[in-house]
Structure formats: C-alpha cells, structure tokens
Amino acid sequence: DIETIKRATDLFGTDAASNGSTYFVRSALLDYIERAIICHEQGMDTQFLVILDEINRVHAKVNETLHGLFDDTRQITIPTAEGSKMIKLPSNFHVIGTMNSGASYVGTHQLDEALKDRFAATTLPPMPKDYEVKKLVKETGILEKQALDIVTVAILLREVAATGQLTSAVSYRGC
C-alpha cells in the first residue's frame, strides 16, 4: 500500500540491529527488482511490472527516491548504514504510477515538479452507458431497470459537475 510509505527505507529496505551489529532488511520491492536483474543477466525473456497506484498518496519526503524509477537514468539509490547503494534497473523492469490529480482528492500530496515531469497524463473516458449499467447489475445484483435509472442520474450529475455547478461528480467507485 503506497500510502504507508513514509521514508525511502519503507520502499527499498531498512537497517536493523541485533547482537551489536547492523544488517539490511530488504523490502519485497527490492527483492523483485533483484529478480528482474537476475533474469535480465541470464538472458531470460521475462518482464517485471510494478504498479504504484495513487502515487501522490506517498509521503512527500519519498518523492525524490522515486525519480529513478521513472526517468531515463533508471537508477535508484538505497540508503543503508554502510552508505548509499546504487542499483541500475534492467530493461525488463517497468513501473507504472497512477494518481488522481486535483485538489478534490483527500489524502493526496503534491508531487514535486521533477517527479511530475516523468509522467504522461492520460485521461480515461467515461464508461459507455450500457457497460456501466451491466457492471452495476453484475456487481450489486439490482435489476437492470434500476441500474439504468441510477446510471442516467449519475451521467446527468457528472455533466453538471463538468460545468462547475457541482463540486464533485458521482463516481462509479462508490459501488
């Protein structure tokens, strides 16, 4: 859950101490990256994908750590007690970050401009009415007529919200 990431160590791993010595506890993400590196080095045609959903929910202090996941250098720096460790991401490792942008999304943080520049904004079109009706029927068990009425009202409310007369639109996520 990206929202739980408060420090870079939460993302890649952290130092721990036991019996007077320190050691590095690797994260699942770092293990996944290293599996991608091994497959790449062995010439295996295996692709690795990480989806960081709602990346703007990550704490602002972690933004800089994420840069290397999304830029052309494809390098990440991991802070450890022994110093920083740089890892070059292989070509078979891919990262997708998603976010809802805008002031109306509660719990989100502003991405710094350098990180924001690494994204290509994509706006998803609304669901076709017949598809939304079928999805509502399937997921809630209501009658098709009821779903059609709900979707018709929801579409009207979204249209009004687009003109600025409402502060937010009806989202399918509420189902």
Instruction: Quickly list DSSP for 34-85.
Output: HHHHHHHHTT----EEEEETTGGGS-GGGHHHHHHHHSTT-EEEEEETTEEE
Residue 125, helix vs strand vs coil: coil
User: Does the pLDDT value for residue 133 go beyond 50?
Assistant: yes
72-97 pLDDT, tens digit per residue, is 888 988 877 777 888 899 999 998 88
20 secondary structure, DSSP code: T
The pLDDT tens digits for 22-62 are 888 888 889 999 999 999 999 999 999 999 888 888 777 77
* pLDDT recorded at residue 49: 95
Predicted local distance difference test score (pLDDT) of residue 175: 46
In whole angstroms, what is the distance from residue 76 CA to residue 86 CA? 6
Buried-state track 93-112, b at ≥16 Cβ within 10 A, e below 16: bebebebeeeeeeeebbebe
Residue range 147-167: average pLDDT?
89
User: What pTM value is reported for the model?
Assistant: 0.70
For residues 118-126, average pLDDT: 79
d(CA 80, CA 5): 17
Structure tokens belonging to residue 70: 């999304």
**What percent of the residues of the chain are helix, what percent strand, and what percent coil, each to the nearest 5?**
40, 20, 40
Q: How does residue 151 score in pLDDT terms, banded at 50, 70 and 90?
A: very high
pLDDT score at 61 = 74
| pLDDT value for 106 | 58
Structure-token pair, residue 124: 């998803």
User: Strands 48-52, 21-26: parallel, antiparallel or unpaired by DSSP?
Assistant: unpaired
Please count the other Cβ atoms lying within 10 Å of the Cβ belonging to residue 89. 19
Q: Using 50, 70 and 90 to split pLDDT, how confident is the model at 153?
A: very high
**pLDDT at res. 70:** 85
Would you place residue 173 in the very low, low, confident or very high pLDDT band (cuts 50, 70, 90)?
low
